[in-house]
């Protein structure tokens, strides 16, 4: 069982390392597109028709992937007043309850996110001409990564 946990932890670490690189790339592209949009609009007088739309789509992906990445690193905002006053056993119980409630939310996000993704697949974005499927796919992908990272944290806490 320990070997299975170690394999899972190693796989999630690798996935999160790749997500970190993807996030850096997305943030870089988003910054470049926004800077170019401002420059083109103010200096040249004519902006690109697609850069603002792509930046918005990248922002959606960055938020969902970034939430999963931050969760694993323990950098999501949290109110930690109650655990300060509890024993180690109480802290573990609170952590378990919060993790289980979070897992329910992430499963809902993934399930309904996938349903929405399928329903908007026929819609085409006006500026880029891409299917809205690719934008909304961030919901189930983000939900899946949040589930993986929550399970990762639970394994680390209880093994």
Residue 2 has a pLDDT of 84
In the three-class reduction of DSSP (H, G, I as helix; E, B as strand; rest coil), residue 48 is classed as: coil
Residue 43 has a pLDDT of 86
Within 13 Å of residue 136, how many CA atoms lie on the same side as its CB?
19
> What average pLDDT score do residues 67-79 get?
90
Per residue in 24-60, pLDDT tens?
Answer: 999 999 999 999 998 888 888 877 888 889 999 999 9
Q: Does 1 score more than 80 pLDDT?
A: no
pLDDT band at 70 (very low <50, low <70, confident <90, very high): very high
The structure's pTM equals 0.91
Choose among 8, 18, 5: nearest CA to 68: 18
> What span, in angstroms and rounded, lies between the C-alpha atoms of 30 and 62?
10
pLDDT band at 82 (very low <50, low <70, confident <90, very high): confident
Residue 44 has a pLDDT of 85
> What average pLDDT score do residues 100-113 get?
97
> What span, in angstroms and rounded, lies between the C-alpha atoms of 80 and 95?
11
Q: What is the DSSP letter of 86?
A: S
> What average pLDDT score do residues 14-33 get?
97
Exposed e or buried b per residue across 48-87, where buried means at least 16 C-beta atoms within 10 angstroms of its C-beta: eebbebbbebbbebbebbbbbbebbeeeeeeeeeebeeee
């Amino acid at each position: 069982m320990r070997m299975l946990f170690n394999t899972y932890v190693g796989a999630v670490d690798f996935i999160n390392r790749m997500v970190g690189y993807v996030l850096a790339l997305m943030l870089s592209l988003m910054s470049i597109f926004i800077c170019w949009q401002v420059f083109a609009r103010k200096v040249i007088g004519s902006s690109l028709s697609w850069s603002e739309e792509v930046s918005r789509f990248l922002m959606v992906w960055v938020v969902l992937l970034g939430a999963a990445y931050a969760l694993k690193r323990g950098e999501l905002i949290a109110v930690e007043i109650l655990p300060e006053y509890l024993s180690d056993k109480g802290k573990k119980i609170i952590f378990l309850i919060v993790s289980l409630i979070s897992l329910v939310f992430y499963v809902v996000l993934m399930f309904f996110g996938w349903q929405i993704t399928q329903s908007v697949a026929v819609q085409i974005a006006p500026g880029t001409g891409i299917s809205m499927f690719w934008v909304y796919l961030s919901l189930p992908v983000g939900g899946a990564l949040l589930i993986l990272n929550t399970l990762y944290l639970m394994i680390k806490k209880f093994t």
